[in-house]
Chain A
Amino acid sequence: MPIEILLFKLLLCGIIFVVSLGVAAYATWGERKFAAVLQDRVGPSRAGPFGLLQPIADGVKMFMKEEMLPNKSNKFLFILGPSLFMLTACMVSTVIPWGGDLTLGGVTYNLQITDINIGILYMFGVVSLGIYGIMIGGWASNNKYSLLGALRASSQMISYEIAMGLSIIALVMMTGTLSLREIVEQQNAGVSYVVYQPLGFLIFLICAFAETNRAPFDLAECETELVGGYHTEYSSMKLGLFLFAEYINMFISSAVMVSLYFGGYNFPFQTEIAEALGLSANGLTIIQTLIFFGKIVGFILFFMWVRWTLPRFRYDQLMSLGWKVLLPLALVNIFITGIVMWALGLIGNN
């Protein structure tokens, strides 16, 4: 690998990390504003215009707070928990194609950190590891509520991972590849996979809510039953990491959904528009990346809308939805996809 590409990738890593943090920080602001709109309030308004400096104030507050370690907790694991959670939250972003190719000085740079040919599996592997951060943190707190919250969160994530994986299998049957970049490229003709896989997308969307522990599936931190859930004992920046990682998760899962089902950085009539405006290839790539972020913001807003609209599920409802509704539906979806593909002669030839 040439040195300039290596440097570019390192730079890209840094940029994506910063962008993730920025998006997560402003998602907290957005969340509060959104809630305020829905509840007919003003929301954060003191720090800066429209309260735009609020996330920075929050961050400073988190850092300045006193560091507390429960007396009887397991110190090492107590610190490992939030760190792991944050790490796994950031790791998925490496396989997401953030845009097309950039050509600078004769060298083509790809706006994706790494295009491994098992991108989707990598994503699942990392997501399934995210459970450990919660479990270790919850257990190391040496607190019953934390442990219960951690168990809830992890059993919920394991249960929904199955339906999520099965919903993607139907998609993979159509794409014939596990690389996220190729899946996005296949959608550049203007038709997104959501058109072919509406049921699969719906299942994936519901599972994404459950995987990110967002309302209406935020049972892990159900205040009325579990005090604060798995992060009851956490304070200062360690709590900050947990909260932050959740927003990063939301951001990343929105990005994944956009890439898989909504064309990623593609947008309708992109070649025509680029021709009409006389855009260079680099210009198109930049516009595509902006469009991609626009779609992601749309999904984040949807996440917030759902959170402030729907009440929280009961735990048994959550489990029966996952196992008795989504899992069979995902199987049916695979079956239908297979039948249709077979009827159209797309498979069964070799």
Chain B
Amino acid sequence: MSLYYVQKLLYQINRDEYALNRFQTDFDSFLTEYDLESDEINALRQADIGLLYVMGVNGQILMHFAAMSGYEWNEYLDAMRQGLNEHGPVRAGLYATVWS
């Protein structure tokens, strides 16, 4: 799992129109520039907000991708809840941090 690169890709398309255009029109080529695994690529392709949240994508990054993918605010929150129900707890990142 390469959470860092999933988040980096989303960070870049959230802030850069050129990157967003490539994501939307040249998806396969664009994603070769990131070290992603097949389940991550599928989640991004399908804008699977629930799975991306469970993978550990920070909500401050994810909420903008959700909005650009057509999720209304409550739909966005429900998608994350559904992801937890379907896939279990968040696997990595801030929300899975084990504090010591």
- Asked if chains A and B come from one complex, the reply is no
Residues in chain B within 8 A of chain A (CB atoms) = none
